[in-house]
Structure 1
Amino acid sequence: MNRLVISGLAAAIALTLGACGEPEKAKPSLELPNKNPFPSTYTVPTSKTLLVKGANLLVGDGSEAEATDLVVMDGKIQAMGKGLQVPEGAVVIEAKGKWLTPGLIDVHSHMGVYPAPGTANHEDGNEMTAPVTAQVWAEHSVWPEDPQFEKALAGGITTVQILPGSGNLIGGRGVTLKNVPSLTVQGMKFPDAPYSLKMACGENPKRVYGEKGQLPSTRMGNMAGYRSAWIEAAAYKKGWDDYVKKIEAGEDADAPTRDLRLETLAGVLEGDIRIHNHCYKADEMAQMIDMAKEFGYKIAAFHHAVEGYKAAEMLAKEDICGVMWADWWGFKQEAFDMVEENIALVDYAKACAVIHSDDPIQVQRLNQEVAKAMTSGNKLGLGLTAADAIKWATLNPAKSLGLEDKIGSLKVGKNADLVLWDANPMSVYAHAEKVWIDGSLRFDRLDPSVQPTSDFNLGILEAGEVRP
């Protein structure tokens, strides 16, 4: 069903028919819900041409290039190679002995919806009033001035997916943001990025609602709750599909009553909204895949995936990303059966392996989390390099978001989201020295004037203080 807004009335033009001059009957109007009522207002800033000269490039796709130049024009990567000529008027960054990577991407963050430092009145990430709250959108809770954003930027994070929490079976829409300062969330929204829908398996929803004496209180209650919601959504989608067919056939018809909860779920069934599914255990992943096939939708990623290594071949076969920590485990029953080689083993199976933070501290040091996961894989004898591992925080997360054609690797024509590191980013001693988003310098460790801070911090930080 096409839900694009068709502006104006589909009225027939009056035509003179012979001597009678009778007008054609007006066709019924087709009015559909606006798919994007809160559009991005972000625009790529104007910036000078940039030449990063002689850096070691970790491309993001598993390859690397030593002592290589990269040119940025109009926010895009324009050229890559050795000994490139300096474009007229370009800013030249001498990067010999330094490392250049794509901007890092965190696909599981609660920045803005759970600010840090935070207070109870700003805990806006979990709408735990019903097991299915697909009608809520995380972006309507995002506080753009959360100081976490600037700390993440200092760690090389250029793109984040902000998700609702995991207290519900279906918690609501997630949103993909560019990590840029803005007074509004619309000013941070990644233009044309697909929406996501947060679902949660296992302990969290059954605990939350079991304690309230409601369904679900068991894993079988979880599955029944999801399936009931998808059955409703399929019927809602059919109602709109039938309405569109009648209008297109010239018949009179009343548009169905809008339902925000079912509208989001129907968007998943239409393929417009991507499922990001909190799910630790391999057996539950298999059940969620079966359910997706039952109702005809696609799962983009399983988040937390502590048992991803058990499900690795299944993830590869179904083209589902496994989104994992480097070494978190044991904080609840479903998180116990973890191995530190988890990410590396999912990658070894040729599945889409992604690292995530879900944490206000880890998001600042995601490169170190990648390094830990790489080291664990190499202790197993997998022979991973920094070029192999960096894709867990660049191209693979971009794929999970449906943005691999725009970000995630150093490739001519892609957005110039770049991080210049003063050492190999797999080193614990490495710092993000400079960070560009769409070719615009957003952070410079060596220049306090290019270290943005939130209004929240005014009066707390000393003027000129180095903040990262």
Structure 2
Amino acid sequence: MRLGHGARALATLAAVALPLGACATKQERPKSAAAKAPPEPYARDPYPSTYRPYPGVPTLVRNVVIFDGEGNRIDNGSVLFADGKIVAVGAAVEAPAGATVIDGQGKYLTPGVVDIHSHLGDYPSPQVQALSDGNEATAPVTADVWAEHSVWPQDPGFGRALANGGVTTLQILPGSANLMGGRSVVLKNVYARTMQAMKFPGAPYGLKMACGENPKRVYGSKNQKPSTRMGNVAVDRQTWAKAVAYKRKWDKYERDGGDMPDRDIAMDTLRGVLSGEILVQNHCYRADEMAIVLDMAKEFGYHVTAFHHAVEAYKIADLLKANGTCAAVWADWYGFKMESYDGIGENLAILEKSGACAMIHSDDENGIQRLNQEVAKVLSSARHAGIAIAPEVAWKWLSLGPAKALGIDRQTGSLRPGKMADVVLWNGDPFSVYTRPDRVWIDGALLYDAHDPKRRPVSDFELGQPGAGDVK
């Protein structure tokens, strides 16, 4: 435990006084902070990232249309990256000696796609029960489980997301069977033997929560609480009340010392949320339920970072903006169950025009390969509704928006000098159904090249199988 100036002075005074004041009574002896048992706080991240970027070379891509991820467009632009970082972006950028120069005439360059809602690795391909590890559907609150402990790095979906969709970063979430489903993890989309070697360095953890039909259906069918929406909220509130008390005990221990409180792995996660270290990623469809959750967050002192799916977010765009809460949505998934009934194709566009934080997401191993096309569908719906949004502005929904909601926007999400060189060169307009990634770099390393069969991701699981290395 670190001692403040006052505590150190008090400890020194006590050390000097003891030999001279042997006759002093026990009550007269100064109470020394140094005499207390030092706190032994638990590790906040016991499974730290071991990610190391693949080697790259200084590269200049020129004569391209650039969407920088921050809403800007540069025609006939150039981007230079080296040592894993963006170096320069502009209309005229010179290549240093020895740099690889790529002429991208007729092509587009963007930041890598960031998917805030994926289950790759936890629900990998092939979809068999032996690999189904995304929902610990044994209790309505399983805040003790961590998605990273189910991630299978050999999932072929990672390579497909990279090669077909230009996805360079993704958040892996537990499923939505539970009110509190556990921790999420943010990964760099690179080949690796272990989860830790994919783990985005320094990215905050998330807590997956869920509203509505899923928890009440899963546990109501087991004849246990919750079986209603009011039961959902009641269990949430009771759990947060316990978490507040748990945090109070640990805060006191870490501040004052004394007897160490008993550990509770689930409460560790909720304490992290209450402390602002862990970000709440909340599955929720209906506007009224999102409003209730925002009130509950105020009651217990935490913040909802993003509502996922959020098909009725357009109804409360002003409320989301006022609370600093994002919405991660689909382009046109709705109507497949009652709580998704009132979705509209203009949802994301309305949120953008209202000034709310909004983005696209996949929640699907196939959709993650076409998130650029999902945004194109939103732009089409918006035009039909008379809402004009420039394509370069819409790219924020694919990169900087989700990066902000994951707490990693200082590292990635836009083509700003000093950020990670997570870059995609597209072979045409990225909002065309005919366009595919031409090349994909992560931290400046070329990990996919459509022109080089040897520079294509193949998982260990696929090695030796017919068609291994084919991009599908």
Correspondence for 2:230: 220
Instruction: Say whether the 8 Å CA contact 1:48–1:89 is kept in structure 2.
Output: no
Q: Does 1:210 align with 2:220?
A: yes
Equivalent residue number for residue 90 of structure 1 = 99
Higher mean C-alpha displacement, 42-51 vs 115-124 = 42-51
Using the alignment, how far apart are the partners of 2:169 and 2:343 within structure 1?
Answer: 28
SS at match of 1:225: helix
Change (3 A) 1:21 1:215: same
Cα displacement (A) at 1:46: 3.0
Query: Among 129, 135, 154, which residue is 1:126 paired with?
Result: 135
Matches within 5 A, 1:303-314: 303-314=308-319
1:19/1:367 CA distance change after superposition, 3 Å: closer
Matching of residue 298 in structure 1 with residue 312 in structure 2? no
Aligned to 1:333: 338
Aligned counterparts of 2:282 and 2:370: Cα–Cα separation in 1: 24
Alignment match, 1:8: none
Q: Which runs of 5+ in 1 are unaligned?
A: 4-11, 248-252
Indicate if the aligned counterparts of 1:276 and 1:301 stay in contact, CA closer than 8 A. yes
Shift of 1:62: 1.4
CA 1:428–1:33: 2 relative to 1, 3 Å:
same
- Asked if the contact 2:74–2:91 (Cα under 8 Å) also holds between the matched residues in 1, the reply is no
Partner of 1:145: 154
Cα deviation code 1:66-94 (max 9, x no counterpart): 11111101111111122322111111111
Distance 2:435 2:234 in 1: 48
> Given that residues 138 and 164 in structure 1 are in contact (C-alpha distance below 8 angstroms), is that contact kept between their aligned partners in structure 2?
yes
Report if aligned partners of 2:172, 2:187 keep a CA contact under 8 Å in 1: yes
Write the deviation string for residues 222-271 of structure 1: whole angstroms up to 9, x where unpaired: 00010001000000001111212322xxxxx1100100011100100000
**How many residue pairs are counted as aligned between the two chains?**
453
TM alignment of 1:189-200, pairs within 5 A = 189-200=199-210
Aligned to 1:440: 445
Any conservation in 2 of the 1:98–1:422 contact (CA below 8 Å)? yes
SS of aligned partner of 1:234: helix
Give the C-alpha shift of residue 218 in structure 1.
Answer: 0.2
1:369 aligns with 2:374: yes
Alpha-carbon distance between aligned partners in 2 of 1:425 and 1:287, rounded to the nearest angstrom: 38
Letter in 1 for 2:201: P
Q: What corresponds to 1:159 in structure 2? A: 169
CA-CA distance at 1:28 after TM superposition? 2.1
Task: Give the drift of 1:467.
Answer: 2.2
Distance of 1:243 and 1:134 partners within structure 2: 22
Where does 1:394-413 land on structure 2 (aligned, <5 Å)?
A: 394-413=399-418
Alignment partner for residue 252 of structure 2, among 230, 242, 245? 242
Determine what percentage of the aligned residue pairs are the same residue: 52
| AA partner of residue 277 (structure 1) | N
Match of 2:112 among 103, 109, 121: 103
Alignment of 1:317-396 (within 5 A): 317-396=322-401
The structure 2 residue matched to 1:114, chosen from 99, 123, 137, is 123
Poorly superposed stretches of 4+, deviation over 6 Å: none
In 2, Cα distance between the equivalents of 1:398 and 1:21?
Answer: 61
- 1:60 maps to 2:60: no
Query: Once the two structures are superposed, what CA deviation does each residue of 1:317-375 show, in whole Å capped at 9, x if it has no partner?
Result: 11111111100111110010011111111111111111111111110111100100111
User: In 2 relative to 1, CA 57–19 (structure 1 residues): closer, same or farther, beyond 3 Å?
Assistant: closer
- 1:223/1:27 CA distance change after superposition, 3 Å: closer
Q: Deviations over 1:193-234 (max 9, x none)?
A: 000000000000000000011110000000001000100000
- 5+ residue gaps, structure 2, are 3-10, 22-31
Q: Which residue matches 2:421?
A: 416
Q: Indicate whether 1:461 and 2:466 are aligned.
A: yes
1:447, CA displacement in angstroms?
0.7
TM-score (norm. length: structure 1): 0.93
Q: Distance in 2 between matches of 1:114 and 1:245?
A: 41
Give the secondary-structure state (helix, strand or coil) at the position aligned to 1:381: coil
On the 8 A contact 1:194/1:272 being kept in 2, the answer is: yes
- How far the C-alpha of 1:61 sits from its partner, in A, is 1.4
